[in-house]
Amino acid sequence: MSSAQQAPRGRFITLEGIDGAGKSTHLAFIHDWLSRHDVDAVFTREPGGTPLGEQVRALLLAPQTQVSLDAETLLAFASRQQHIADVIEPALSQGRWLVSDRFTDSTYAFQGGGRGVPFERIRALEDWVQRGLQPDLTLLFDLPLEVAAGRMSGTRQLDRFEQEAADFHQRVREAYLKRAAAEPGRFAVLDASRGIADIQVDIAGHLQTLLERG
Ligand code: TMP
């Protein structure tokens, strides 16, 4: 395609929620739904999505990592900057949709709500790194901690965030809900304690709306 006929910009969708909210199951559904509707989409995640980002992810999730609150926040944004430059912006400008398993709302929820990093500091990094880039749709999978904890119980070792106490996860959940209330046009809050089929009916509705937005 010549530069004179640029592709319309793609759509940017993010998935958010406390640990154990069931995002992975719903990502598979979103993948199927978009391919059934002939939408060319890139699936990615944060922290991660680039070679550098995946190294940052390994560091941030490793239970033995010793990191200050500010360094943790800066690492999340370092991974994000690389991700935006190498993956997100190129996909959107080529007209592809991009679905990211977590994005900046995770930093507000985990580092801001969970750890207590001032929201203004996160906002300053967001302004610097994103230059106005925001998701078109954020699906927030919301559910009580007890339900999420039950889903996480298994044989796998819990990562550095999953190992945090219940009050940390409660603050994360509350920070997410506050952000969703402040930006109702971008967020769709889904009651993720319901059965999968019910949740997926809602997800399909939101995807359809985004598809029809033109
Ligand atoms: P997940 O992608 O497997 O859900 O796990 C990623 C973990 O990293 C999750 O516990 C949330 C955490 N996280 C942050 O603390 N800050 C961030 O900015 C991001 C993107 C994730």
Q: What is the CATH number for 191?
A: 3.40.50.300
Q: What is the pLDDT of residue 6?
A: 77
For residues 156 and 24, the answer to whether their CB atoms sit within 8 Å is no
| pLDDT tens profile 128-166 | 999 999 999 999 999 999 999 888 777 678 999 999 999
Residue 76: which H helix or E strand, with range? helix 69-83
* Ligand 1 atom, smallest distance to 161 CA: 10
pTM: 0.96
Residue 3, pLDDT score: 53
Residue 169: inside a domain: yes
Give the chain's domain count. Answer: 1
Domain that holds residue 123: 12-213
Residue 202 resides in a domain: yes
Q: How far is the CA of 111 from the centre of ligand 1 (A)?
A: 10
Residue 155: per-residue pLDDT: 60
Look at residue 7 and tell me if it is in a domain.
no
Q: How many CB atoms lie within 10 A of CB 104?
A: 25
Nearest CA to ligand 1 atom 6: 47
Q: Low-confidence residues of the chain, pLDDT below 70?
A: 1-5, 155, 214
Phi-psi label, residue 159: left if phi above 0, alpha if psi -120 to 50, beta otherwise: beta
